[in-house]
Amino acid sequence: MFSRKPSALVAQALCVGAIATVVATATPASAQSIVPCSESALSNAIDNATAGESLVLARGCTYSLLTALPPIDTTITIVGRNSTITRDTGAGNFGILSVAPSGNLTLTNTTITNGVAPDFGGGIANRGRLTVTGSNIHDNSANFSGGIGGGSGTVTRIVNSTIANNTANVNGGGVANDGDMTIVNSRITNNTATGGVGGGVANDGLLRIVSTDVNLNHANRAGGVANVGGGTTTIVASNVNNNTAALAPGGVLNSGGSVTLIATRVRGNSPTNCSGSDITVPNCAG
């Protein structure tokens, strides 16, 4: 996807299995470091972190970045404590956090904003393993996956988080996934894919969306969720509502692979909910 142009009750076992997978990815920290409220302190903490370390951010601090942070190449936890990591408005263009193939980041209670990535993942670019919990990823932009991008071979878990007002030039305004991604109890809203598909979410890997709202997003096609390139998308007990697109469908698109909707509402999307999808989306009307 990152190199391709646009192209009631639930089964409890599925929900529990997805959530259990999320929990299993967290790695207990062996040490903690308090990170003072400065860009250089945060950069140094990431650069010098040891495997299993927790970086505890200054409570309520705004870490304003003039240069890109080092890639995360080991297993660490960033504990936000209502802090914000943002790109300074006078800085050049770069994404906020980057997880290297060898990296495993758990991010909690943090706001990630104003990233501008030339490739993918304006907020967070994941090339390894990533778990985001209780966080707010908003107003970031990139060519693909304005908010969070999961590359091929990656594992991404998003829990109890909000992904809002992010923009992609091509696919995945809020989130784009080429790997294995699970989104649970979250909100994906007001994101835009200006020239492609999946204003909220674009997937050509393995994607599970559970108890999540994908609402009020916009794209050239499939304002809500786009499954492309042979991907597999399962949406459980969720809402895909009031999304808009220039071309049908407005809600959910399947252009390759499979889409499964379980106890999920797809309503009020424009110009259609799922009608006009290249491959019919079962259990979706309009």
Supply the pLDDT for residue 14. Answer: 44
Helix (H, G, I), strand (E, B) or coil at 4: coil
Please name the residue ranges forming H helices in the chain: 12-25, 39-48
Residue 284 confidence class, pLDDT cut points 50, 70, 90: very high
pLDDT at 12: 38
Percent of the chain residues past pLDDT 90, beyond the cut? 90
Dist. CA 178–CA 26, nearest whole Å: 21
Residue 61 has pLDDT above 60, yes or no: yes
- Reported as a single tens digit per residue, the pLDDT across 210-219 is 999 999 999 9
Q: What is the pTM of this model?
A: 0.91
Is residue 67 pLDDT above 70, yes or no?
A: yes
238-255: pLDDT as tens digits = 999 999 999 999 999 999
The answer, yes or no, to whether residue 23 has pLDDT greater than 90, is: no
CB proximity list for 166: less than 8 A, separation 6 or greater? 122, 123, 137, 138, 139, 140, 141, 146, 147, 173, 174, 191, 192
The whole-angstrom separation of Cα 64 and Cα 60 is 13
**How does DSSP classify residue 230?**
T
Residues with Cβ within 8 Å of residue 6, at least 6 apart in sequence:
170, 171, 195, 196, 197, 220, 221
- The pLDDT tens digits for 172-204 are 999 999 999 999 999 999 999 999 999 999 999
Q: In this predicted model, what pLDDT tens digit does every residue of 149-177 receive, in sequence order?
A: 999 999 999 999 999 999 999 999 999 99
| 3-class DSSP assignment, residue 267 | strand
Predicted confidence at residue 116, as pLDDT, reads 98
Each as own residue / partner, the long-range contacts of residues 82-85 (CB below 8 Å, 24 or more positions apart, any chain) are 82/109, 82/111, 83/57, 83/58, 83/59, 83/109, 83/110, 83/111, 84/110, 84/111, 84/112, 84/113, 85/42, 85/110, 85/111, 85/112, 85/113
- What pLDDT does 2 receive? 65
Distance in angstroms (rounded) separating the CA atoms of residues 153 and 138: 25
User: What does the block give as tokens for 266?
Assistant: 């797809």
Is 60 exceeded by the pLDDT of residue 11? no
> What local confidence, expressed as pLDDT, does residue 8 receive?
37
Q: What is the mean pLDDT of residues 66-94?
A: 97
Give the model's pLDDT for residue 256. 95
Distance of alpha carbon 149 from alpha carbon 173, whole angstroms: 10
The band of 21, judged by pLDDT with boundaries at 50, 70 and 90, is very low
Per-residue confidence (pLDDT) for residue 227, from 0 to 100: 98
Average pLDDT, the chain: 92
- Predicted confidence (pLDDT) at residue 5 exceeds the cutoff of 80: no
